[in-house]
Structure 1
Amino acid sequence: MSQVEGHKLSQIVYSCYFARSREGEQFAPDHVFSYQVAGTLTVNDAAHNYAFQEGDFRFTKRNSLVKFNKQPPENGEFKAISIYLDQQTLRKFALEFGYEASPHRNGKAVIELKSDPLLKSYVDSLMPYQEFQPPANQHLMSLKLKEAILILLQTNPELKDILFDFSEPGKIDLEGFMQQNFHFNVQLKRYAYLTGRSMATFKRDFEKIFHISPSRWLVQKRLETAHYLIKEKGKAPSDVYLETGFEDLSHFSFAFKKAYGVAPSRIR
């Protein structure tokens, strides 16, 4: 589970893992353009599963709930390059070049980008900068971010309406959203934000619908799902706790035993 190497220069991140790894909080606040250098990345956004192999490009949309599973190749290391495109950078770009978004449907959280010589030459050009540390070469890094946006628009023009959509999430059906996304390991403030509510309004609306606090409901819902997966589907507790949104195995085991009177490893 260890990350043996990780270089970060502004919004350009190099990841290198020698063991299987899963992300912590499963919320993507910014758009991310990524290239898979080595190993396999599997992604789940509640509605779809994706698998990215060496040489694949992907685009993860901001304000998405996604689970990542990083698998190194046999006797090798998982390696990836990610370029984080924050709202400030994109707003400046839109003003400079006169871009604005047209209305569009949200669609998938993760977009599989077709390989293109322009995309490949861009990620190759980033390799020499791996050893640099911020704040050195910040002007150069700003140019590389701008180049990334220009190349994405050239190779995938449909991304314009995603990149330059600066609207915040609107108020949506809270019950449906929570039933679909309870298994993501994110803070309550993320759920409130993604359903278009302040924290106070989120809690008030939630208790009107579910007649229980969000924190208690999440634990109960996750435990019920975990119990079903272990007993009916034969899954291992070590896999189920992550799948259902618990942060670590010990917390899951403690909560499970408290709820069901028996350790999760003993119910099958």
Structure 2
Amino acid sequence: METNNLEGINTLRYSDIFLAMYFNDGMSCLHRNHSHVLVYMYSGELEINERETVTRLHKGDCAFIRKDFGVQLTKRAYKGEQFKAIFLMFTTRFLREFYGRLDKNQLPEEVRRSKVSLRKLPSNRPDIVSLFESMTPYFDSGIQPTEELLNLKMAEGVYVLLHTDKSLYASLFDFADPWKIDILEFLEKNYMNDLSLEEIANYTGRSLATFKRDFKKVSELSPQKWIIRRRLEAAHALIRSGVRNVTDICFEVGFKNLSHFSKIYKEKYGSSPANSISY
């Protein structure tokens, strides 16, 4: 068990399996999931902002956040109660082992991965309440749960999701054909983020070698050149709209160096970013 206390944050973590987080005051952090997450609220408020779409979770609420999801999470007290929640972190290793035990003949056919990255589950569902309320004694008392119990609770969490919507089979087991995450769809949502090729491969359910091979099937460009081209296209559209200054646009679309951005922008569009602004 790991216990951390920092700036009003108290976290209790058992192995790599689930994490309880307590916040006495409102806090905000930019969070990018390296694992699928099932979060359950005991108290307080969790505000989830996805590209200006805001979802708020309160006591008894439960939600699934897919691993390729970059959101702004704000944790705060609510109605006099501190923030308190448990996050089940579904690692690829755990899901591969779980998938290996499934009867493949019972898997739903022609299931497509939902485009919704945040999924709020029905409130007060018996299996959800039972799962998370059974965990509270371990966090309140500090008693160390066994690895067998941890794996059992994680498996319960997976079944909660699979019993919610069959499309979640495709989200949870996206490392297995035919449920790999669509590469171009992922990059379209994340081209502005500072991700390595290894991270992109992982987020799309592939090894690095498989990612490079699959990318050649969808683009004549290398992944790096595709990302640069997409950033330039986004920057060009914003510059032509005249609603932001060039510096802000440069960093918003993912470039880190203004002079480098100006140089490659001029090479592609024939004029500097400043000269392309429409008024």
TM-score by length of structure 1 reads 0.64
The one of 3, 10, 15 aligned to 1:5: 10
**Partner residue, 2:277:** none
Aligned-partner Cα distance in 1 for 2:237–2:11: 35
**Alpha-carbon deviations, 1:72-94, whole Å to 9, x = none?**
24686543211123344345445
Given the alignment of the two structures, is residue 112 of structure 1 paired with residue 120 of structure 2, yes or no? yes
CA contact (8 A) 2:47 2:56 kept: yes
Distance apart, 1:30 and its partner CA: 3.2
* Structure 2, gaps ≥5 residues long: 1-5, 263-279
Name the TM-score, length of structure 2 as normaliser.
0.62
Deviations 1:200-259 (A, max 9, x none): 558988995489746755776787688789x6169x96xx96x6558xxxxx6xx34775
Partners of 1:165 and 1:157 in 2: CA distance: 15
Q: Distance in 2 between matches of 1:195 and 1:148?
A: 20
* Cα offset, 1:185, TM superposition: 4.0
Q: Percent identity?
A: 16
Q: Map 1:175-254; keep pairs closer than 5 Å.
A: 178-192=187-201, 194=204, 198=209, 208-209=220-221, 213=225, 232=243, 244=253
Question: Which range is displaced more, 215-224 or 176-185?
Answer: 215-224
Superposed, 1:66-215 pairs within 5 Å as 66-73=70-77, 77-94=82-99, 98=103, 100-102=106-108, 103-107=110-114, 108-115=116-123, 116-130=125-139, 132=142, 137-154=146-163, 156=164, 158=166, 161-162=169-170, 163=172, 166-167=175-176, 170=180, 174=184, 178-192=187-201, 194=204, 198=209, 208-209=220-221, 213=225
Conservation of the 8 A alpha-carbon contact between 2:192 and 2:254: yes
Question: How many pairs does the alignment contain?
Answer: 242
Q: 1:170 to 1:146 in 2, by over 3 A?
A: closer
Tell me the SS of whatever aligns to 1:158. coil
Distance, in Å, in 1 between the alignment partners of 2:186 and 2:103 is 35
Aligned partner of 2:22 in structure 1 is 16
CA distance in 1, matches of 2:39, 2:130: 13
Question: Does 157-166 or 13-22 show the bigger shift?
Answer: 157-166
In 2: Cα distance, 1:164 partner to 1:90 partner: 7
Deviation at 1:167, TM superposition (A): 1.0
How far, CA to CA, are the matches of 1:173 and 1:9 in structure 2? 33
Alpha carbon RMSD of aligned pairs, Å? 4.6
Q: Shift of the alpha carbon at 1:149?
A: 3.1
Aligned residue identity for 2:133? D
The whole-number CA distance in structure 1 between the counterparts of 2:95 and 2:224 is 40
Distance 1:158 1:171 in 2: 16
- 1:122, 1:173 → 2: CA distance? 34
